[in-house]
């Protein structure tokens, strides 16, 4: 029998992984990879750090070369070869050699699509200026580094405050540039809840980054082929010597569409658990495919390296005759910028409500390790919890240290469909330099489980502010110290420190709705328990305390 002919379109995470797994599954298969770029496999998540010279050698970004692929796996890799067309009726692909312009046909028995996604470049006036870049490929990053060396820009404008935007902003700031970030929505990290994103924004501004939130780019004004000013939709103009676009990515779907493969409602290639498309001999993996979200059960696009690698592994194995499954993703992601780390898994509260869940949020602010051990830093941890069942739906963690550990524990809990009462029972490692006896995740479980069991009802900062703005009648009780109260308090709040509360109960109306708050939520919880056991039936504690109520950072600094 002729050996099985496997053709893979695209490299990087999905395609390169598929090629290696296909070889491990089938030693006799003939495997060919066509990659239109100059590199078959590179660490695109490391590109901002290459721009910032944390990673100094570009060779460190190149995970595999065509020569190494052939030597170890006997996989033929042709870079600078673009597949123009998939001919399903003849089971061939039409390929163009981008160096010579020559075109040829190559047959396949099984085909794997891993075309990835391209950086979004909106059709704005001046967008073709020579000092406007994206950060999606190694050549992109090379071009930025060359520009920095040759032109010594002073002012950088980063468009987009998502993960890549914040990483690139840090890279440029570390290189001495004056950096302004412009984001269309009114917060950094748009996938996070606004109160958590505000904590990140505050830190970034303290570290010298300038933020312009809730404003977009209308046009770039150029001189001698370079963008000199960005005109915002508000009319404001921001001077710039260098512009980085990090608006997002758009899946490369042309080949799939022209081949008649099914494209889903989320705008990606439809695949099953085996990564098969609507054509059983064609598989797909990576940023161009739709993925089952493991919390909502809906199909969505999750352009992250982790899912792409796992999908590529499954596609490669199955195309070569194996039988693996990819069950879906939680969208777990993490970013660090200017010393602050933010991570998310599962759903935000906005996403949970939008998908029809009856959910509440629970926020705590523990230290990353034991307070008595030097160097303890605060964490900000939010759980999204289904009402009634207590099932964990999502989590967000922000801090300087220990964020990765907590988000990975919570992502594992989400995979296992655990409840917050399950989190209470976790047995996690403890030594004072790593954690506390009650780790942040366990403590978060305690607090959220108290709400599930009905020991306390909670309210969010936004709900409190909405009640105040609407002129509703309720008792707003601040149970911190007089000094804390004088430093800052919510409008209309009455001060009764927690240690004095029992002596002043007669001054409060037990029939009226009462909202209690402190700095982080603990003293508020204690106050709520006191009030509930003294006949106050309508008591709610501000989850996360006043710490989760930003004082109102201006949208620009």
| 205/213 Cα distance (integer angstroms) | 12
Q: What's the half-sphere exposure (Cβ side, CA atoms, 13 Å) at 417?
A: 6
Q: Which parts of 80-231 fold into alpha helices (H)?
A: 138-151, 163-174, 194-206
Residue from 101, 66, 65, 64 nearest 82 by CA: 101
C-alpha distances out from residue 129 to 68, 220, 250, Å: 37, 8, 21
The two structure tokens encoding residue 221? 């004004």
Q: Please indicate whether residue 518 is annotated as part of the active site.
A: no
Closest CA to 359 of 396, 388, 385, 389: 385
Q: How far apart, in whole angstroms, are the C-alpha atoms of residue 116 and residue 172?
A: 26
Q: Cβ-count burial of 321 within 10 angstroms (0-12 exposed, 13-18 middle, 19+ buried)? A: middle
Going by C-alpha positions, the residue among 239, 235, 234 that lies closest to residue 222 is 239
The one-character DSSP state at 506 is G
Per the structure block, which two tokens stand in for 354?
């939008």
Q: Parallel, antiparallel, or unpaired: how do β-strands 539-542 and 457-459 relate?
A: parallel
DSSP assignment of 268-319: SB---TT-B-SSTTEEE-STTB-EEBTTT--EE----HHHHHHHHHHHHHHH
CA angle, corner 138, sides to 133 and 141, nearest 5? 40
Q: Which two tokens stand for residue 167?
A: 């990483």
Evaluate whether 101 touches 94 at the Cβ level (below 8 Å): no
Crossing angle (nearest 10°) for helices 12-25 and 305-319: 30
Please give the structure tokens belonging to residue 256.
Answer: 């799939």
Q: What is d(CA 250, CA 546) in angstroms, rounded to the nearest whole number?
A: 39
Q: HSE of 470 in the Cβ direction (CA atoms, 13 Å)? A: 9
Please answer whether residues 557 and 513 qualify as being in contact, where contact means their C-beta atoms are separated by less than 8 angstroms: no
The DSSP symbol for 3 reads: P
Per the DSSP assignment, residues forming a β-bridge with 284 are 113
**Tokens 């109160």 label which residue?**
195
Q: Which of 45, 240, 518, 549 is catalytic?
A: 45
Is residue 149 exposed (0-12), middle (13-18) or buried (19+ Cβ within 10 Å)?
Answer: exposed
**Residue 122 and residue 128 in contact, taking contact as beta carbons nearer than 8 Å:** no
Q: In DSSP terms, which residues pair with 162 in a beta bridge?
A: none
- Please choose, from the candidates 172, 198, 167, the residue with its C-alpha nearest in 3D space to the C-alpha of residue 185: 198
**Active site positions, annotated:** 45
């Amino acid at each position: 029998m002729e050996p099985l002919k496997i053709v893979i379109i695209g490299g990087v995470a999905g395609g390169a992984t598929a090629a290696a797994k296909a070889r491990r599954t089938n030693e006799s298969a003939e495997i060919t990879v066509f990659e239109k770029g100059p590199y078959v496999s590179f660490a695109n998540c490391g590109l901002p750090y290459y721009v910032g010279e944390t990673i100094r050698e570009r060779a460190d970004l190149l995970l595999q070369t065509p020569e190494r692929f052939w030597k170890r796996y006997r996989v033929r890799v042709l870079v600078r070869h673009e597949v123009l067309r998939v001919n399903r009726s003849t089971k061939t692909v039409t390929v163009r050699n981008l160096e010579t312009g020559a075109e040829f046909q190559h047959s396949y028995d099984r085909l794997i699509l891993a075309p990835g996604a391209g950086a979004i470049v909106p059709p704005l006036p001046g967008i073709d200026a020579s000092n406007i870049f994206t950060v999606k490929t190694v050549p992109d990053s090379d071009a930025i580094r060359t520009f920095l060396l040759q032109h010594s820009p002073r002012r950088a404008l980063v468009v987009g405050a998502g993960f890549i935007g914040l990483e690139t902003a840090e890279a440029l700031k570390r290189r001495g540039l004056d950096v302004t970030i412009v984001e269309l929505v009114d917060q950094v990290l748009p996938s996070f809840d606004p109160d958590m994103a505000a904590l990140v924004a505050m830190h970034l501004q303290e570290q010298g980054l300038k933020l312009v939130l809730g404003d977009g780019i209308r046009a770039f004004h150029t001189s001698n082929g370079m963008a000199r000013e960005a005109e915002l939709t508000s009319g404001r103009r921001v001077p710039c010597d260098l512009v980085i676009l990090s608006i997002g990515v758009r899946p490369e779907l042309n080949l799939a569409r022209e081949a008649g493969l099914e494209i889903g409602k989320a705008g990606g290639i439809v695949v099953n658990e085996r990564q098969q498309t609507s054509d059983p001999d064609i598989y797909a993996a990576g940023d161009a495919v739709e993925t089952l979200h493991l919390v909502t059960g809906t199909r969505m696009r999750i352009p992250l390296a982790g899912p792409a690698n796992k999908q590529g592994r499954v596609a490669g194995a199955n195309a070569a005759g194996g039988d693996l499954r990819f069950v879906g993703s939680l969208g777990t992601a993490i970013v660090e910028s200017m010393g602050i780390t933010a991570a998310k898994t599962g759903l935000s509260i906005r996403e949970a409500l939008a998908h029809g869940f009856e959910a509440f949020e629970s926020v705590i602010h523990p230290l990353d390790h034991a307070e008595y051990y030097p160097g303890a830093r605060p964490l900000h941890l939010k759980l999204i919890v289904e009402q009634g069942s207590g099932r964990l739906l999502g989590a967000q963690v922000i801090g300087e240290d220990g964020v990765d550990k907590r988000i990975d524990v919570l992502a594992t809990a989400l995979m296992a469909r655990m409840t917050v009462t399950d989190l209470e029972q976790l047995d996690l490692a403890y030594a004072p330099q790593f954690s506390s006896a009650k780790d942040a995740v366990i403590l978060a479980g305690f607090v959220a489980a108290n709400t599930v069991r009905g020991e306390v009802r909670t309210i969010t900062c936004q709900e409190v502010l909405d009640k105040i703005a609407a002129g509703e009648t309720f008792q707003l009780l601040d149970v911190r110290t007089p000094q804390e109260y004088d430093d800052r308090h919510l409008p209309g709040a009455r001060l009764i420190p927690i240690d004095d509360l029992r002596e002043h109960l007669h001054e409060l109306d037990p029939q009226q709705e009462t909202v209690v708050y402190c700095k982080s939520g603990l003293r508020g919880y204690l106050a709520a328990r006191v009030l509930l056991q003294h006949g106050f039936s309508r008591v709610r504690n501000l989850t996360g305390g006043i710490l989760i109520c930003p004082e109102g950072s201006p949208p620009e600094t």
